Amino acid sequence: MMAEESGLWGGVKETLKTVVYALLIAGAFRTILFQPFWIPSGSMKDTLLIGDFLFVNKMAYGYSYASCPSIRIPALGIDIDAEDFCGFLKGRDGRILGSEPERGDVVVFRHPVTGRDFIKRLIGLPGDRIQVKDGLLYINDVAVTVEDDGIFEEVFEPQGPQGLAPRCSNGAVGVGAICQKERQLETLPNGVVHSILNIGDQELDHTGVFTVPEGNYFFMGDNRDNSTDSRVAQSARGVGFVPVENLIGRADRIIFSSAGRSMLAFWTWRSDRFFKAIE
């Protein structure tokens, strides 16, 4: 009997060791190499759609306290922040094995106030002067080049697990109707070309001049009239300037995409977006 119990306990211990090792390996992979990220909102349309799933390249800019994982499982009451793991690194100069991000990169970063993960496009580097006048972006007092690129269309319906409804340039449309936005191609000073969407004349189409402080960056969403970004002062709602230590990594490629309320709803999968490069 003792031998059987010993054998059973030995099997349980081996299973527990395997689980622990697997968790440690997964934790190291997530902390050092890549972090999974799911797109919950439409602020980066049409570059990124609600339901896109991607891995963030943490090696792109080196490491800071923000590179440590945050674990949030509301159903279980679990909310462990990256600062809880690596808060001792916060406020230190520079980044470990750091390299400079480039204008036009699509970047995941920690919100300077709430600590939540955000994803936006890097528009302003330290020292830059950024302004939006009549919907046109100016960098260091020079307007970027834009050209019309047709109309972006999507069905007006609740999108993703949050059931968010899109905003449309063709006015109020009913559920199931086509929602339209004007699409343009924007060319940044370093030659990066990407698409942006516009709804119409909005408050954030007219801003003052933002001078990006040293050690900070300025971010904007590609869905220009539906993005809370660095154009809104730093607060629980606005992003403002983002410190370099808050950068988590660069988004390079969409791995998987689902247009439904659940990733298990295979009939809503967007197969044309699987392994799609992010531009």
Tell me the catalytic residues.
Answer: 43, 120
3-class DSSP assignment, residue 214: coil
Instruction: Give the Cα separation of 28 and 275 in Å (integer).
Output: 23
Amino acid at 108: V
CA 86, chain centre distance (Å):
21
Q: What is the DSSP string of 84-151?
A: HHHGGGTT-SS-BT-----TT-EEEEE-TTT--EEEEEEEE-TT-EEEEETTEEEETTEEPEEEEEEE
For the record, the structure tokens of 112 come out as 């300077």
Contact call for residues 35 and 28 (beta carbons, < 8 A): no
φ, ψ for residue 139 (rounded to 5)?
-120, 120
